[in-house]
Amino acid sequence: MGVLNVTPDSFSDGGQYFEPARALERAEQLIAEGADILDVGGESTRPGSAEVGAEEEIRRVVPLVAALAGRVSVPLSVDTTKARVAREALAAGAEIINDISGLRFEPALADEAARAGAALVLMHSRGTRETMHTLPPVADALAEVTESLRASVAEAERRGVARTRIAVDPGIGFGKSQEQNVELLARLDLFAAAFPDLPVLVGTSRKRFVGALLGGAPVDERLHGTMATVTAAVLRGAGVVRVHDVRAAVDTVRVADAIKAAGGGV
């Protein structure tokens, strides 16, 4: 899953693809590099980011989705927590909704996915937009993530989303300590076993904990660390990895898949 942020303030690439022409060019580049899915986001969820109203998020995302739907062959995902944005994006041609709140912010988002027959990614996070990155970590991250996402999946199904259309994401970097982020990757096989019939999506790309593990490396120096986490995620059961650096990730996943297929998962 290639990341395409059309925001002025995302932590990694904010402002780079805010202009529509540049966003289209970047989308085509990500596909050429091997992205199987494009994930379009119009609202940053980095620590300290400002909330974006539905009207502005629609203005940023929907025209781009409409333009891409007519010219690319890969599925389009929209990273949003808002039911109204989801409805407009799905009508414009999106096929997946990626909800970092796991339906906690607007449960009606699942109604839109169900109505459109779209896929739905449910990510674990805690608290509000303002607090999700500042809450103290829970004592048992794996148990918290698993139980919370079980509730999210149940709510999605209750609202009509087919289970075969749901994926789960443990929410690396959202309200977890550095140690817990590493632990969740190391124990991802246990998380995956709790949802044996659902794809697991993992997003570690360029995140702060990777920089911390590398001695404080800035965002633009976290590529190799990110690819190490991608390898670990694949070996431990991730079916989708969400990344900014698609070309590097494609090569990394290809090798990790070969190792896993040969029985070399760690």
Each residue's pLDDT tens digit, 13-27: 445 555 788 889 999
Please report, to the nearest 10 degrees, the dihedral formed by the alpha carbons of residues 39, 44, 47, 49 taken in order: 180
pLDDT band, very low/low/confident/very high, at 46 (cuts 50, 70, 90): low
Residue 207 catalytic?
A: yes
Amino acid letter at 32? A
State residue 16's pLDDT score: 59
Give dist(CA 113, CA 49) in Å, integer. Answer: 26
Task: Give the tokens for residue 23.
Answer: 């966003």
pLDDT band, very low/low/confident/very high, at 11 (cuts 50, 70, 90): very low
Give the predicted TM-score (pTM) of the model.
Answer: 0.93
Give dist(CA 8, CA 14) in Å, integer. Answer: 5
Residue 242 catalytic?
A: yes
> What is the domain partition of the chain in residue ranges?
2-261
pLDDT tens per residue, range 144-184: 999 999 999 999 999 999 999 999 999 999 989 999 999 99
Please identify which of the residues 242, 247, 254, 260 carries the catalytic annotation: 242
Pairing between β-strand 201-202 and β-strand 240-241 as defined by DSSP bridges: parallel
pLDDT at residue 266 greater than cutoff 60? no
pLDDT tens per residue, range 192-238: 999 999 999 999 999 999 999 999 999 999 999 999 999 999 999 99
| Mean pLDDT, residues 103-119 | 98
Pairing between β-strand 201-202 and β-strand 2-5 as defined by DSSP bridges: unpaired
For domain 2-261, the CATH superfamily is Dihydropteroate synthase-like (3.20.20.20)
Please identify which of the residues 60, 159, 207, 222 carries the catalytic annotation: 207
Radius of gyration of the chain (CA): 17
Mean pLDDT (the chain, rounded): 93
State residue 14's pLDDT score: 46
Give dist(CA 263, CA 149) in Å, integer. Answer: 29
